[in-house]
Structure 1
């Protein structure tokens, strides 16, 4: 069954089987995104349950203008970002975003990120703020298109492209500072 068929059946009958089908189809995706963003298993598990509650409470509002998976992804992303923002420890990370250096670096090609060693990439991602890390993971790991990112983030495509450009530049600076100086000193 397609997602919309299950949703229609759920709306008509409020049958638990429909709920279970959607839960089985999307719970692991939601959990995966939550653990990527929240970094704690217990928080990701709680988030998955809360997100599914939101999804089913809002299911009547889903009009099918986008794919159901995109809609669920948007709810997941927004929930996790809200959770991060509420977390006192994360407030310091958001304060760092205010002092962004000017755009003096040329466009960083996507290949620069793709050629980083896995341990290097993990380090670089750990140094980015949660929104920056999530943006890169959505674009390059999950393959989310710019238009879908713009819809998810509530921004226009130009703003998303600029945010992506700045984040890639920052990632490259972090990588070069950490790994280029180490290898040249060796």
Structure 2
């Protein structure tokens, strides 16, 4: 959910501390990984909302690692930029649901548990998000 490795490390540390302190609250209604994921998701979403309110600017140190084959690198970079642009047309929740499903390999039921919604609502949100990305890619000079 965050694009910065140092921030991700900080989040991970805080999330595991939070999970450890709430371990006695785990009720085994879902798998442990789903419970932990919901803690992580909620923590990250809260932090992202907070950072947007504070309008924090981060400074990256160093430069991007250069690749030997610049043509392949340029194509990959262009593709990555197009994917980022398409994802930016979605809300944070829509982006997160897509990432949970396709990057993290979460099931519809696990996503529904994290968001506390019905599986049919997750399916509809996934479909709407994919449709929005499709429409974005249909625009001239996109995807």
Pair 89,61 (structure 1): closer, same or farther in 2 beyond 3 Å: closer
2:25 corresponding residue in structure 1: 61
Distance in 1, matches of 2:125 and 2:34, equals: 20
Equivalences for residues 64-75 of structure 1 within 5 A = 64-75=28-39
The SS at the match of 1:87 is: helix
**Displacement after TM superposition at 1:78 (Å):** 0.9
Alignment partners' CA distance in 2, 1:135 and 1:57: 27
3-state SS of 1:64 partner: coil
Cα RMSD, aligned residues only: 2.3
Give every structure 1 segment of 4 or more consecutive aligned residues whose post-TM-superposition deviation is greater than 4 Å. Answer: none
Distance (Å, rounded) in 2 between the aligned partners of 1:66 and 1:160 = 17
Q: Deviations over 1:61-119 (max 9, x none)?
A: 1132322111111111111111122223599xxxxxxxxxxxxxxxxxxxxxxxxx555
Runs of 5+ consecutive residues of structure 2 not aligned to the other structure: 56-78
Unaligned runs of 5+ in 1: 1-36, 92-116
Matched, 1:77 2:15: no
- Offset of 1:167 from its aligned partner? 1.1
- Asked if 1:182 corresponds to 2:141, the answer is yes
Match of 1:132 in 2: 94
Instruction: Report deviation, 1:121.
Output: 2.5
Cα distance in 2 for partners of 1:69, 1:148 equals 9
* Number of corresponding residues: 119
- Larger helix proportion of the pair: 1
TM-score of the superposition, structure 2-length normalised? 0.72
The aligned residue for residue 110 of structure 1 is none
Deviation at 1:169, TM superposition (A): 1.2
Q: Partners in 2 of 1:161 and 1:71 — Cα distance?
A: 20
Q: After superposition, give the CA deviation of every residue in 1:10-39 in whole Å (9 maximum; x if it has no partner).
A: xxxxxxxxxxxxxxxxxxxxxxxxxxx122
TM-score by length of 1: 0.57
| Alignment partner, residue 76 of structure 2 | none
